[in-house]
Amino acid sequence: MKVYLIHAVMAAIDPVLASLREEWPEAEAYNLLDDSLEADKANLQADMSPRLLELARYARSNDAAGILFTCSAFGEAIEKTAKALDIPVLKPNEAMFYQAIEQGGRVAMLATFEPAIESMEREFHSIKNALSSEVTLKSFCVPGAREALKAGDNVRHDDLVAEMAAGLSGFDTVMLAHFSTASAARKVAKVTAARILTSPSTAVASLRQRVTMQSGF
């Protein structure tokens, strides 16, 4: 079963491949990386839909049975792409949001890329309203973490995310917003009693389910 992973940052690749090895080892996974997407997303008025659709159509033309976007900043553009293709196309955080909302309570979301927060909150609240949930969400952007990641200092990135988590109180769930923040999960778990959710594992499980259902296997 061939699936394509479409990335805007290189740091998202290893976490999702690790989840694939654990959750769906028989999947034949291929990576498409366009790291100019994140830089261009800093322009909040930019329409990223045509570019994401072009990448997805390339994957589909190479017999992809499913596509997973790993960048959390492009929710609406991914939705448009999904409507244009005849295979499952997943947003990175949808499955994680469903899980957090179904568990209820107070949810904290730790992000490192501020331009992504607004669209992610919008997606979370859309799911919350559809489920008639009373769950609450508060988002935090971790200063310096994205810069550390871009500089190749993954240890510093993870430490900064964990430091932010250590300062939180009263939350039932902590979501690590991006695929690239999943690497901090172990350090975060050491400093908070809240349950920790990461997007790669939940997204891979959802992709597997949807592709399997559509393929009839």
Cβ atoms of 168 and 192 within 8 Å: the answer is yes
- Residues 194-207 have pLDDT tens digits of 999 999 988 999 99
- Distance CA(73)–CA(34), nearest Å, equals 14
This prediction's pTM: 0.84
From first CA to last CA, the distance across the chain in angstroms is 10
Looking at residue 43, what is its pLDDT? 66
- Residues 32-58 have pLDDT tens digits of 999 898 877 766 566 889 999 999 999
Looking at residue 217, what is its pLDDT? 57
Residue 18 has pLDDT above 60, yes or no: yes
- Where are the chain's structural domains? 2-92+201-215, 94-198
Looking at residue 44, what is its pLDDT? 58
Domain 94-198 belongs to what topology?
Rossmann fold (3.40.50)
Contacts of 158 (CB under 8 A, 6+ apart): 183, 184, 187
Average pLDDT over residues 14-39: 92
Q: What percent of the chain has pLDDT over 90?
A: 82
Looking at residue 72, what is its pLDDT? 81
The mean pLDDT of the chain is 93
Cα 154 to Cα 42, 72, 84, 157: the distances in Å are: 22, 19, 36, 5
Asked if the domains 2-92+201-215 and 94-198 are classified in one and the same CATH topology, the answer is yes
Looking at residue 40, what is its pLDDT? 79
- Residues 115-166 have pLDDT tens digits of 889 989 999 999 999 999 999 999 999 999 999 998 999 999 999 999 999 9
Domain 2-92+201-215 belongs to what topology?
Rossmann fold (3.40.50)
